[in-house]
Structure 1
Amino acid sequence: MNTALPPVACRPGCGACCTAPSISSAIPGMPDGKPAGVRCVQLADDNRCLIFGRPERPACCAGLQASAEMCGDSRERALLWLGELERATAPA
C-alpha cells in the first residue's frame, strides 16, 4: 500500500526548499553547492527560482516534488519541516 501524499503545487513566494536544505550539486553562482539554511543565490527577491526550467538547474531541485507534508500550511512550517529533515539526514 502506498501511503505517500500526492504532490501539490508550490506555494508562490515560499522558497523554503531553496533555503533550508543543503544542496551538494553545483548551482550557478554556488559552484560548491549550498549549505543548509543559506538562501540559494538563484532565489529572486520574490522567492522564485531564477533558473526554473533551465538546463543549469540542478537535478535535485528539478526533481523535488512539493507535498502537503513537506510544505505544510505556511513558509515557516515548510522551513521547520525541511530543517528537521536536514538535521536528521546530515552526516555525523
Structure 2
Amino acid sequence: MDCRIGCAACCVAVSISSPIPGMPQGKPAGVPCIQLTSDNRCRLFGHPERPAVCSSLAPSVEMCGQSNEEAYRILSLLEQATSPVIRIDCATVPILGKPRSSAGET
C-alpha cells in the first residue's frame, strides 16, 4: 500500500515524542506537524532531518483503512489505546491544599 497523497493522518492524529525540526518537544496528538505543507505533504519527506519515527511508519490497511477519514479514526483510537493513563485516588487527593479525611469530609 502507498500513502494517500494529502492524507497526513499519521502527521496529525498521533503524538510524536521525538524532536521534529520546528517542534523540539515533539507534538501532541491532534496537532498537525509543523512540517506539513498547506496541501498536507511532509516538507521533510526524503530528507535526513525527518525523524526516524516518521520514516518508520509504513502505510497499511490496518493503520490507514480505506479513506483519509478512516485513517484519522483508526490512528486516533490507537493513540488513545496506547496513551499513558494517570490514576488518582480521589480519597487522598488534597482539595485546595486540604487533605480529605478518611470519611470524605473536607
TM-score by length of 2: 0.78
| Superposed displacement of residue 46, structure 1 | 0.8
Shift of 1:33: 0.1
Out of 76, 82, 89, the position equivalent to 1:83 is 76
For 2:47, the aligned partner's letter is R
Partner of 1:47: 40
Instruction: Tell me how far 1:84 sits from its aligned partner.
Output: 0.2
Q: Offset of 1:53 from its aligned partner?
A: 1.0
Q: Once the two structures are superposed, what CA deviation does each residue of 1:38-84 show, in whole Å capped at 9, x if it has no partner?
A: 00000111111000011111100001000011111111110000000
Q: Secondary structure at the match of 2:80?
A: helix
Please state whether the residue corresponding to 2:77 is helix, strand or coil: helix
Q: What are the equivalent positions in structure 2 for 1:33-44 lying under 5 Å apart?
A: 33-44=26-37
Match for residue 27 of structure 1? 20
Offset at residue 89 of structure 1 (A): 0.3
The 5 A counterparts of 1:56-75 are 56-75=49-68
1:12 partnered with 2:5 = yes
Gaps of 5+ in 2: 86-106
Give structure 1 stretches of 5+ with no counterpart: 1-7
Taking the aligned partners of 2:36 and 2:67, their CA distance within structure 1 comes to: 18
Q: Partner residue of 1:4?
A: none
Q: CA RMSD in A?
A: 0.6
Q: Counterparts of 1:65 and 1:51 in 2: how far apart (Å)?
A: 16
Q: Which of the pair has the greater relative contact order for Cα pairs under 8 Å at 6+ separation?
A: 1
Q: Which is greater in Rg? A: 2
